[in-house]
């Protein structure tokens, strides 16, 4: 197996694992009305109490619009 093939193989395994984790999370979070991605926002808020939306955006490496929409959805649910 060449370096490129082994690297591709590892990335495929990581992708598969990531999809499995997301599937399990979606099932678990559905019972408490959390949608995909909201858990990450809630986790970072709990870990960084008092963080503002700009700080949260920087922590999650997303733009401010994404953070605002996610926070609004969390509040609505």
pLDDT in tens, 34-77: 877 888 899 999 999 999 999 999 999 999 999 999 999 888 87
> By the 8 A CB rule, do 40 and 57 touch?
no
For the entire predicted model, the pTM comes to: 0.66
pLDDT in tens, 9-20: 899 999 999 999
- Token look-up 């495929």 returns 12
What is the overall mean pLDDT for the chain? 89
8 vs 77: CA distance, rounded Å: 39
């Amino acid at each position: 197996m060449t370096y490129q093939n082994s690297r591709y193989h590892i990335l495929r395994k990581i992708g598969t694992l990531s999809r499995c984790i997301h599937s399990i999370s979606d099932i678990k979070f559905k019972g408490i009305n959390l949608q995909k991605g909201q858990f990450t926002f809630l986790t970072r808020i709990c870990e960084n109490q008092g963080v503002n939306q700009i700080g949260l955006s920087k922590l999650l490496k997303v733009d401010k619009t994404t953070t605002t929409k996610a926070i609004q959805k969390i509040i609505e649910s």
